[in-house]
A and B are shown apart, each in its own frame.
Chain A
Amino acid sequence: QVQLVQSGAEMKKPGSSVKVSCKASGGTFSTYAINWVRQAPGQGLEWMGRIIPNFGSTNYAQRFQGRVTITADESTSTAYMELSSLRSEDTALYYCARGQLIYDSFDPWGQGTLVTVSS
């Protein structure tokens, strides 16, 4: 049973960067996409981007292009999402989720990482 465990909550200043990790255990890592989805307080789900570790290929949502970088370390089965030039509107819960091979549904999900951006 695959499990995704994310790094802990972060408090950041505007203009800085944050890097959130997502470690997979209990299953194959490299051939499945790892997606990143964020949820601002009281809001819906927003897809940010994904990586397929064994290809190293990435896709990003247009609105995050240039600010987000998703990477993966196959040796530790860990994916990372780095968001730069943080602003208060980036305060949100950030989730990683594995994309299934067929139909690309997301399962399982990590527990979420709260990133708070405040001066």
Chain B
Amino acid sequence: DIQMTQSPSSLSASVGDRVTITCRASQSISRYLNWYQQKPGKAPKLLIYAASSLQSGVPSRFSGSGSGTDFTLTINSLQSEDFATYYCQQSFSTPPYTFGQGTKLEIK
């Protein structure tokens, strides 16, 4: 199975900051990388698919990049509603479709 490693596991930032979360795959997954946001008590929400495509309705301050094994999620000008846990997920080839362990973004 393809392993996904996110870093950092937690992150403190302030409103208005720019933050970057990284995700590394154990083998090349081309651009089959998705990012989700999860708030406490809620289901995950798709933010980015295909490494860099913004899901409809997601604010443009969210962006994704990368291909192969290394990927990043960047949030520009953090807003209060962005404090949540973020997960990467690979959907390359046939399942299993593994998730990273998550990055908890907290208010500094």
Chain A residues proximal to chain B, CB less than 8 Å: 35, 37, 44-47, 49-50, 59, 61-62, 95, 97, 99-100, 102-107, 109-112
How many A-B pairs have beta carbons closer than 8 Å: the answer is: 71
Q: Which B-chain residue is minimally distant from A6 (CB atoms)?
A: B43
Given contact pairs A44-B87, A45-B87, A45-B102, A104 touches B44 in the complex (Cβ within 8 A): no
B79-98 near A? 1/0 per residue, CB < 8 Å:
00000000101010011111
Number of B residues with CB within 8 Å of any CB on chain A: 26
Question: Which A residues are CB-close (under 8 A) to B102?
Answer: 44-45
Q: Which residues of B contact A (CB under 8 A)?
A: 1, 31-32, 34, 36, 38, 43-46, 49-50, 53, 55, 87, 89, 91, 94-102
Q: Check B49 against A100 for contact (C-beta < 8 Å).
A: yes
Q: A45-B44, A62-B1, A112-B43 are in contact. Are A105 and B99 (CB under 8 A)?
A: no
